[in-house]
Structure 1
Amino acid sequence: MKTFTKEDVLEKAAENNVKFIRLQFTNIFGTLKNIAITVEELERALEGQISFDSSVIEGTVDRHESDILLNPDPSTFVIFPWRPREGAVARLICDVLNPDGTPFAGCSRSVLKRNLAEAENKGLHLQVGAEIEFFLFQTDESGKPTVITHDQAGYCDLTPVDMGENARRDMVLTLQEMGFDVSSSHHEIAPGQHEIFLKDDDALAMADSITTFKFVVRTIAQRHGLHATFMPKPVSDVNGSGMHLQISLWRNDQNVFFDQTKPNGLSAIANRFIAGLVEHAGALTAVANPLVNSYKRISANDLAPVLAGWSENNRSAMIRVPSWRGAGTRVVLRSPDPSGNPYLVVSAALQAGLDGIERGLHPPAPLKEDIPAWEIKNVIREKGLPRSLEHALKAFKQDEVIWRALGESISSRFLRVKEQEWERFQSKVHRWEIDEYLRNY
Structure 2
Amino acid sequence: MDRQQEYVLRTIEEKGVRFVRLWFTDVVGKLKSVAIAPAELEKAFEEGIGFDGSSIQGLTRVYEADMLARPDAATFQLLPWRGTDYPVARMFCDITTRDDEPARTDPRNILKRALESAADMGFTCYVHPEVEFYLFQQESDPEKIPVPIDSASYFDHVTRSTAHDFRRDAILNLEEMGISVEFSHHEAGPGQNEIDLHYSDALSMADNLMTFKAVIEEIAVRQGVQASFMPKPLGNVPGSGMHTHISLFEGERNAFADPTGPYGLSKTGRQFMAGLLRHAREITAVTNQHVNSYKRLWGGDEAPSYVCWGPNNRSALIRVPYYKPEKSQSARLEYRAIDSSANPYLAFAAMIRAGLAGIAGDYELPEQADTDVSLMSTMERQILGIESLPESLSQALRVMRESELMAEGLGEDCFAYFLREKKHEWREYSTQITTEERRRFLATF
TM-score tier, shorter chain, comes to over 0.9
Q: 1:200 to 1:219 in 2, by over 3 A?
A: same
C-alpha contact (below 8 Å) 1:128/1:203 kept by paired residues: yes
Deviations 1:303-359 (A, max 9, x none): 111111111222221111101151111001110011111011011000100101111
**Structure 1 regions of 5+ residues with no counterpart?**
none
| Counterpart amino acid of residue 412 in structure 2 | E
Instruction: Look up the match of 1:6.
Output: 5
Report 1:25-424 matches (<5 A): 25-59=24-58, 63-140=62-139, 147-160=146-159, 162-325=161-324, 326-371=328-373, 373=375, 375=377, 379=381, 382-424=386-428
| Counterpart amino acid of residue 361 in structure 2 | R
C-alpha contact (below 8 Å) 2:315/2:372 kept by paired residues: no
Q: 1:150 to 1:404 in 2, by over 3 A?
A: same
Distance 2:161 2:303 in 1: 23
Distance 1:408 1:434 in 2: 42
SS of corresponding position for 1:243: coil
C-alpha contact (below 8 Å) 1:137/1:146 kept by paired residues: no
Q: 1:417 to 1:160 in 2, by over 3 A?
A: same
Return the structure number with greater strand share: 1
| Counterpart amino acid of residue 82 in structure 1 | W
| Counterpart amino acid of residue 363 in structure 1 | L
Q: 1:437 to 1:280 in 2, by over 3 A?
A: same
SS of corresponding position for 2:81: coil
Q: 1:10 to 1:97 in 2, by over 3 A?
A: same
Q: 1:382 to 1:437 in 2, by over 3 A?
A: farther
C-alpha contact (below 8 Å) 2:318/2:336 kept by paired residues: yes
C-alpha contact (below 8 Å) 2:294/2:391 kept by paired residues: yes
Distance 1:243 1:132 in 2: 5
Deviations 1:153-200 (A, max 9, x none): 111111227431111110011101110110000000000100000011
Distance 2:374 2:401 in 1: 34
C-alpha contact (below 8 Å) 2:24/2:32 kept by paired residues: yes
C-alpha contact (below 8 Å) 1:139/1:145 kept by paired residues: no
| Counterpart amino acid of residue 164 in structure 2 | E
Q: 1:312 to 1:337 in 2, by over 3 A?
A: same
Distance 1:240 1:406 in 2: 27
Distance 1:294 1:120 in 2: 32
Worse-matched range after superposition: 293-302 or 88-97? 293-302
Q: CA RMSD in A?
A: 2.2
Deviations 1:15-73 (A, max 9, x none): 11100011000110001000111112121122233100113433489744510001100
Distance 1:54 1:281 in 2: 31
Distance 1:150 1:425 in 2: 28
In the superposition, the TM-score normalised over structure 2's length comes to: 0.94
C-alpha contact (below 8 Å) 1:310/1:320 kept by paired residues: yes
Distance 2:405 2:16 in 1: 47
C-alpha contact (below 8 Å) 1:245/1:333 kept by paired residues: yes
TM-superposed deviation, 1:433: 1.3
| Counterpart amino acid of residue 26 in structure 2 | N
TM-superposed deviation, 1:378: 6.6
| Counterpart amino acid of residue 289 in structure 2 | P
Q: 1:273 to 1:415 in 2, by over 3 A?
A: same
TM-superposed deviation, 1:244: 1.1
TM-superposed deviation, 1:114: 1.2
C-alpha contact (below 8 Å) 2:305/2:374 kept by paired residues: no
Sequence identity, in percent? 41
In the superposition, the TM-score normalised over structure 1's length comes to: 0.95
SS of corresponding position for 1:307: coil
Deviations 1:240-282 (A, max 9, x none): 0001111000102111111123242211111111111111111
SS of corresponding position for 1:246: strand
Deviations 1:360-403 (A, max 9, x none): 11121111134574648974995211000001001110110122
C-alpha contact (below 8 Å) 1:27/1:56 kept by paired residues: no
Distance 2:336 2:298 in 1: 13
Residues 1:435 and 2:439 aligned together: yes
SS of corresponding position for 1:148: coil
Q: 1:405 to 1:97 in 2, by over 3 A?
A: same
Deviations 1:102-126 (A, max 9, x none): 1011111011111101111111110
SS of corresponding position for 1:136: strand
Q: 1:225 to 1:345 in 2, by over 3 A?
A: same
C-alpha contact (below 8 Å) 2:58/2:418 kept by paired residues: no
Distance 1:340 1:405 in 2: 17
